Amino acid sequence: MTPNQTLIREIAKMIDHSLLHPTLTDAELREGCQLALRYEVASVCIKPYAVPLASELLAGSDVLVGTVIGFPAGNSAVSIKVAETIQACLDGAVEIDMVVNLGKVLAEDWDYVTSEIRSVNTACTDHGAILKVIFENDYLPDDRYKIRLCDICTEVGVAFVKTSTGYGFVKGSDGKYSYEGATLPDLRLMLDHVGPGVRVKAAGGVRTLDGLLTVKDMGVSRLGASATAAILEEAYRRFGAVAADTPVAPITEGKGY
C-alpha cells in the first residue's frame, strides 16, 4: 500500500457515516450502508430501530454498526437509556453514541451525570460495545461544563467524548435558530482535558476534506459526517489514488451533520 493509499484509508476509518435524519427511509438506509461499504468507513451511525437491518446489510464487513441513545436531547431516564443500549447491542450495535442529560449538566448535578454515564458505559462493555458521550456543546455556555464532562468521562473510562448531535439548534434573540457543532476551540478543549485512552469525536459542521484533515491533525480520532462521498472522492482526486467504483451520492442530512 502506498503512502497516499494509507492516508486515504486513515481518512475513511475516521468517518462514522451519519444516517440520522428524522425522515430517513429504509431505502435510504440501504443506500447509506452501501455507500459505507464502498468507501470502507469506520461505521454507520443510525437510529436504534434500524440496527437489525444495518447489521444484516453490513455483516461480514469491517464497517461497524453504531447507534444513538437518548437522541437528540438526552432527556430519557437512565433506566431507559440503559435498556435502549442493551437492546441496541443485542440487535448488533457495537458503538453507542449517548446524549448526556443536559439539564443535569447545567444544574451541575455531577453525581447524577456520573451515574448516568457509568450505567450506560457498563451496559456497553457488558455487551461488547463502546460508548461515546455526546456533550452537545452548543447548549453549554461555559467551558467549565465541558471540562467537567471530560473529567467524568475519563474517570468512568468511556471510549470517546463527542461534541454534538448535529441537531442542537439554539434559538437566538431574533427568534432564528443557529448551530455551530464541532468548533475548533471546543475540539482543542476536549483534546486537552480528556485522559489517556479517551478519544474525541467531532460531529456537526465538518463537511469537507480540508475540514477533516484539520481536525485529524489536531488529534481528533473520529468524525460524524453525512458528506462522506464528497470528502472521500476529493481525497482520491487530491492524493492520486484510485477512486471507489461507481460513487454513490451522499444522502442529504439537511442541517444536521
Q: Rounded to the nearest 10 degrees, what angle do helices 78-91 and 110-126 cross at?
A: 20
125, β-bridge pairs: none
Structural domains of the chain sorted by starting position, each given as residue range(s) with its CATH number in brackets: 3-239 (3.20.20.70)
- At 35 the three-state DSSP class reads helix
Q: What phi, psi does 94 have (nearest 5°)?
A: -120, -5
> How deeply is 113 buried, as exposed, middle or buried, from its count of CB atoms within 10 A (0-12, 13-18, 19+)?
buried
The rounded distance, in Å, linking the Cα atoms of 250 and 216 is 21
Q: Which amino acid is at 62?
A: D
The rounded distance, in Å, linking the Cα atoms of 27 and 11 is 26
Residues 32-86 have pLDDT tens digits of 999 999 999 999 999 999 999 999 999 999 999 999 999 999 999 999 999 999 9
Residue 253 has pLDDT above 50, yes or no: no
Catalytic residues, by residue number, are 97, 162, 201
Residues 121-178 have pLDDT tens digits of 999 999 999 999 999 999 999 999 999 999 999 999 999 999 999 888 888 889 888 8
pTM over 0.75: yes
Other Cβ atoms less than 10 A from the Cβ of 226: the count is 24
DSSP code, position 249: P
pLDDT score of 170: 81
Q: What phi, psi does 133 have (nearest 5°)?
A: -95, 120
